[in-house]
Amino acid sequence: MTLRRGDLRVTRWGARFHGRRFPCAIGRGGLTHDKREGDGASPAGVWRLAFGGYRADRAPRPDTALPMIAIGPRDIWSDDPNDPAYNSWITTAEHPYSHEALRRADRLYDVVLVSDWNWPDAAPGKGSAIFVHHWRRPRYPTAGCIAFRPDHLRWILARWTARSRIILR
């Protein structure tokens, strides 16, 4: 694989983007080449960012070329392999399947970016909600996502292009 300028290269020790290094967090299960729902691992490979969401009540829309959606109180992400809407953003008042609220009390998803890992054509059980988002605290592991300090994530987003990729290895 040829690395290109504009690729976000992520390892368990940090990330590099446009000549800068950033601390980041990955899944508590480390890296995996065989991603499974609930394993807590970050899937190794090459991903793209499809779109994102942000809390308009807490911060302005991030400066980015990515399509961004203001997260509402009924926005969820399905993480149930039995759900016909598995691994997708849904807006609903009630949902009978396991899901994750996108509008959270904490600040993790004040900016949340949807990767193309197992999306949009999701294979049930191969991992859902593999996002890029704010970290809880420095290097605190995620459930499989990649997490950055908020100001670093905004810096990255401001330079993100349609050709940018996440390379996780």
User: Over 90: is that where the pLDDT of 16 sits?
Assistant: yes
Instruction: Flag whether pLDDT at 3 surpasses 80.
Output: no
Three-point CA angle 136, 155, 138, nearest 5°: 25
Model confidence pLDDT, tens digit, residues 22-44: 999 999 999 999 999 999 999 99
Tokens of 156: 């990255």
Residue of 89, 119, 115, 93 whose CA lies nearest to 102:
89
Q: What are 126-136's pLDDT values in tens digits?
A: 999 999 999 99
Cis peptide upstream of residue 120 (ω within 30 degrees of 0): yes
pLDDT at residue 88, rounded to an integer = 97
The answer, as to whether pTM is greater than 0.85, is yes
Looking at residues 5-22, what average pLDDT do you find?
94
The whole-angstrom separation of Cα 82 and Cα 11 is 32
CATH numbers and ranges of domains, the chain: 8-168 (2.40.440)
Per-residue pLDDT, 159: 97
Q: What percent of the chain has pLDDT over 90?
A: 93
